[in-house]
Structure 1
Protein backbone atom coordinates (compact mmCIF):
# COMPACT_ATOMS: atom_id res chain seq x y z
CA UNK A 1 0.00 0.00 0.00
CA UNK A 2 1.46 3.33 -0.99
CA UNK A 3 1.12 6.59 0.91
CA UNK A 4 -1.76 7.88 -1.23
CA UNK A 5 -3.77 4.74 -0.56
CA UNK A 6 -3.08 5.00 3.17
CA UNK A 7 -4.26 8.63 3.22
CA UNK A 8 -7.44 7.65 1.36
CA UNK A 9 -8.09 4.88 3.88
CA UNK A 10 -7.56 7.30 6.78
CA UNK A 11 -10.03 9.75 5.25
CA UNK A 12 -12.59 6.96 4.78
CA UNK A 13 -12.13 5.80 8.37
CA UNK A 14 -12.48 9.37 9.64
CA UNK A 15 -15.70 9.92 7.69
CA UNK A 16 -17.16 6.61 8.85
CA UNK A 17 -16.29 7.40 12.46
CA UNK A 18 -17.70 10.93 12.31
CA UNK A 19 -20.94 9.77 10.71
CA UNK A 20 -21.36 6.96 13.25
CA UNK A 21 -20.53 9.27 16.16
CA UNK A 22 -23.01 11.88 14.97
CA UNK A 23 -25.73 9.25 14.52
CA UNK A 24 -25.07 7.81 17.99
CA UNK A 25 -25.10 11.28 19.58
CA UNK A 26 -28.38 12.17 17.92
CA UNK A 27 -29.98 8.86 18.98
CA UNK A 28 -28.82 8.81 22.62
CA UNK A 29 -26.32 11.48 23.66
CA UNK A 30 -25.52 10.12 27.14
CA UNK A 31 -24.82 6.64 25.83
CA UNK A 32 -22.77 7.98 22.92
CA UNK A 33 -20.64 10.11 25.24
CA UNK A 34 -19.91 7.02 27.34
CA UNK A 35 -19.29 4.64 24.42
CA UNK A 36 -17.18 7.08 22.41
CA UNK A 37 -15.30 8.54 25.38
CA UNK A 38 -16.20 12.10 24.41
CA UNK A 39 -16.79 15.17 26.51
CA UNK A 40 -20.20 16.85 26.47
CA UNK A 41 -18.71 19.80 24.57
CA UNK A 42 -17.23 17.64 21.79
CA UNK A 43 -20.50 15.69 21.53
CA UNK A 44 -22.42 18.95 21.17
CA UNK A 45 -20.04 20.12 18.43
CA UNK A 46 -20.24 16.83 16.51
CA UNK A 47 -24.02 16.79 16.79
CA UNK A 48 -24.30 20.18 15.09
CA UNK A 49 -21.92 19.58 12.18
CA UNK A 50 -23.34 19.74 8.67
CA UNK A 51 -22.51 17.10 6.06
CA UNK A 52 -20.08 19.51 4.40
CA UNK A 53 -18.34 20.11 7.73
CA UNK A 54 -18.11 16.33 8.33
CA UNK A 55 -16.50 15.87 4.92
CA UNK A 56 -14.03 18.68 5.52
CA UNK A 57 -13.12 17.40 8.98
CA UNK A 58 -12.68 13.84 7.72
CA UNK A 59 -10.22 14.96 5.04
CA UNK A 60 -7.37 15.56 7.50
CA UNK A 61 -4.45 13.22 6.91
CA UNK A 62 -4.44 11.91 10.47
CA UNK A 63 -6.80 9.64 12.36
CA UNK A 64 -9.42 11.52 14.34
CA UNK A 65 -9.91 8.58 16.70
CA UNK A 66 -7.55 6.66 18.89
CA UNK A 67 -7.62 3.57 21.04
CA UNK A 68 -9.14 4.32 24.42
CA UNK A 69 -6.78 1.98 26.21
CA UNK A 70 -3.11 2.43 26.87
CA UNK A 71 -3.01 -0.42 29.32
CA UNK A 72 -1.97 -3.91 28.21
CA UNK A 73 -4.24 -5.39 30.88
CA UNK A 74 -7.31 -3.86 29.23
CA UNK A 75 -6.17 -5.00 25.78
CA UNK A 76 -5.62 -8.48 27.16
CA UNK A 77 -9.14 -8.56 28.61
CA UNK A 78 -10.68 -7.46 25.33
CA UNK A 79 -8.81 -10.06 23.30
CA UNK A 80 -9.03 -13.00 25.68
CA UNK A 81 -10.89 -16.02 24.35
CA UNK A 82 -11.62 -17.86 27.56
CA UNK A 83 -14.97 -19.20 28.64
CA UNK A 84 -15.27 -16.11 30.90
CA UNK A 85 -15.05 -13.78 27.91
CA UNK A 86 -18.19 -11.82 28.82
CA UNK A 87 -16.82 -11.23 32.32
CA UNK A 88 -13.48 -10.07 30.94
CA UNK A 89 -15.19 -7.67 28.53
CA UNK A 90 -17.40 -6.30 31.31
CA UNK A 91 -14.34 -5.76 33.51
CA UNK A 92 -12.53 -3.99 30.67
CA UNK A 93 -15.58 -1.76 30.09
CA UNK A 94 -15.61 -0.82 33.77
CA UNK A 95 -11.90 0.04 33.70
CA UNK A 96 -12.31 2.09 30.52
CA UNK A 97 -15.30 3.93 31.96
CA UNK A 98 -13.11 5.05 34.84
CA UNK A 99 -10.62 6.68 32.51
CA UNK A 100 -10.84 10.41 32.00
CA UNK A 101 -12.19 11.90 28.81
CA UNK A 102 -9.52 12.97 26.35
CA UNK A 103 -9.51 16.66 25.63
CA UNK A 104 -8.26 18.16 22.42
CA UNK A 105 -5.40 20.50 23.18
Structure 2
Protein backbone atom coordinates (compact mmCIF):
# COMPACT_ATOMS: atom_id res chain seq x y z
CA UNK A 1 0.00 0.00 0.00
CA UNK A 2 1.50 3.31 -1.00
CA UNK A 3 1.28 6.60 0.84
CA UNK A 4 -1.64 7.95 -1.20
CA UNK A 5 -3.65 4.82 -0.49
CA UNK A 6 -2.91 5.07 3.22
CA UNK A 7 -4.05 8.70 3.33
CA UNK A 8 -7.24 7.81 1.44
CA UNK A 9 -7.95 5.02 3.95
CA UNK A 10 -7.35 7.40 6.87
CA UNK A 11 -9.74 9.97 5.37
CA UNK A 12 -12.38 7.29 4.86
CA UNK A 13 -11.96 5.98 8.42
CA UNK A 14 -12.17 9.53 9.78
CA UNK A 15 -15.37 10.29 7.90
CA UNK A 16 -16.93 6.99 8.97
CA UNK A 17 -15.95 7.67 12.58
CA UNK A 18 -17.39 11.19 12.53
CA UNK A 19 -20.65 10.00 10.98
CA UNK A 20 -20.95 7.14 13.48
CA UNK A 21 -20.12 9.42 16.41
CA UNK A 22 -22.71 11.98 15.37
CA UNK A 23 -25.33 9.28 14.90
CA UNK A 24 -24.61 7.70 18.30
CA UNK A 25 -24.71 11.08 20.05
CA UNK A 26 -28.05 11.96 18.51
CA UNK A 27 -29.56 8.54 19.30
CA UNK A 28 -28.39 8.15 22.93
CA UNK A 29 -26.03 10.77 24.31
CA UNK A 30 -25.04 8.98 27.55
CA UNK A 31 -24.28 5.72 25.79
CA UNK A 32 -22.36 7.60 23.10
CA UNK A 33 -20.16 9.30 25.70
CA UNK A 34 -19.29 5.89 27.12
CA UNK A 35 -18.84 4.06 23.81
CA UNK A 36 -16.83 6.83 22.14
CA UNK A 37 -14.85 7.73 25.23
CA UNK A 38 -15.42 11.47 24.72
CA UNK A 39 -16.38 14.31 27.03
CA UNK A 40 -19.69 16.13 27.00
CA UNK A 41 -17.98 19.12 25.36
CA UNK A 42 -16.54 16.99 22.57
CA UNK A 43 -19.92 15.34 22.05
CA UNK A 44 -21.56 18.75 21.69
CA UNK A 45 -18.98 19.77 19.09
CA UNK A 46 -19.38 16.53 17.14
CA UNK A 47 -23.17 16.79 17.20
CA UNK A 48 -23.09 20.32 15.79
CA UNK A 49 -20.78 19.55 12.84
CA UNK A 50 -22.23 20.18 9.39
CA UNK A 51 -21.56 17.68 6.58
CA UNK A 52 -19.09 20.14 5.01
CA UNK A 53 -17.23 20.48 8.31
CA UNK A 54 -17.07 16.70 8.70
CA UNK A 55 -15.60 16.32 5.22
CA UNK A 56 -12.99 19.00 5.95
CA UNK A 57 -12.02 17.49 9.32
CA UNK A 58 -11.93 13.95 7.89
CA UNK A 59 -9.41 15.06 5.26
CA UNK A 60 -6.61 15.44 7.81
CA UNK A 61 -3.80 12.89 7.60
CA UNK A 62 -4.15 11.68 11.19
CA UNK A 63 -6.68 9.21 12.55
CA UNK A 64 -9.26 10.96 14.71
CA UNK A 65 -10.16 7.91 16.78
CA UNK A 66 -7.71 6.05 18.95
CA UNK A 67 -7.42 2.66 20.58
CA UNK A 68 -8.86 2.64 24.07
CA UNK A 69 -7.33 -0.76 24.77
CA UNK A 70 -3.85 0.54 25.37
CA UNK A 71 -2.25 -1.97 27.69
CA UNK A 72 -1.48 -5.68 27.91
CA UNK A 73 -4.12 -6.38 30.57
CA UNK A 74 -7.00 -5.09 28.46
CA UNK A 75 -5.70 -6.75 25.27
CA UNK A 76 -5.30 -10.03 27.14
CA UNK A 77 -8.89 -9.83 28.39
CA UNK A 78 -10.22 -8.98 24.93
CA UNK A 79 -8.33 -11.74 23.15
CA UNK A 80 -8.82 -14.38 25.90
CA UNK A 81 -5.29 -15.73 25.61
CA UNK A 82 -5.07 -18.94 27.57
CA UNK A 83 -8.73 -18.93 28.69
CA UNK A 84 -11.66 -21.16 27.89
CA UNK A 85 -14.65 -20.00 25.87
CA UNK A 86 -16.79 -20.17 29.04
CA UNK A 87 -14.86 -17.23 30.51
CA UNK A 88 -15.09 -15.10 27.34
CA UNK A 89 -18.11 -13.06 28.48
CA UNK A 90 -16.58 -12.35 31.88
CA UNK A 91 -13.28 -11.32 30.30
CA UNK A 92 -14.96 -8.93 27.87
CA UNK A 93 -17.04 -7.43 30.69
CA UNK A 94 -13.90 -6.96 32.78
CA UNK A 95 -12.14 -5.25 29.84
CA UNK A 96 -15.14 -2.94 29.32
CA UNK A 97 -15.13 -1.99 33.00
CA UNK A 98 -11.40 -1.22 32.89
CA UNK A 99 -11.74 0.93 29.76
CA UNK A 100 -14.78 2.75 31.16
CA UNK A 101 -12.90 3.52 34.36
CA UNK A 102 -10.00 4.94 32.41
CA UNK A 103 -12.39 7.13 30.42
CA UNK A 104 -13.84 8.54 33.65
CA UNK A 105 -10.33 9.27 34.97
CA UNK A 106 -9.40 11.12 31.76
CA UNK A 107 -12.63 13.17 31.69
Which of 71, 81, 84 is the aligned partner of 1:82?
84
Give the number of aligned pairs: 103
1:83-98 equivalences under 5 Å are 83=85, 84-98=87-101
The TM-score, its normalising length taken from structure 1, stands at 0.93
Q: CA deviation at 1:79?
A: 1.2
List runs of 5+ in structure 2 lacking aligned partners.
none
Where is the helix percentage greater, Structure 1 or Structure 2?
A: 2
Partner of residue 68, structure 2: 68
List runs of 5+ in structure 1 lacking aligned partners.
none
4+ residue runs of structure 1 moved beyond 4 angstroms? none
1:5-84 equivalences under 5 Å are 5-80=5-80, 82-83=84-85, 84=87
The TM-score, its normalising length taken from structure 2, stands at 0.91
CA distance in 2, matches of 1:5, 1:86: 37
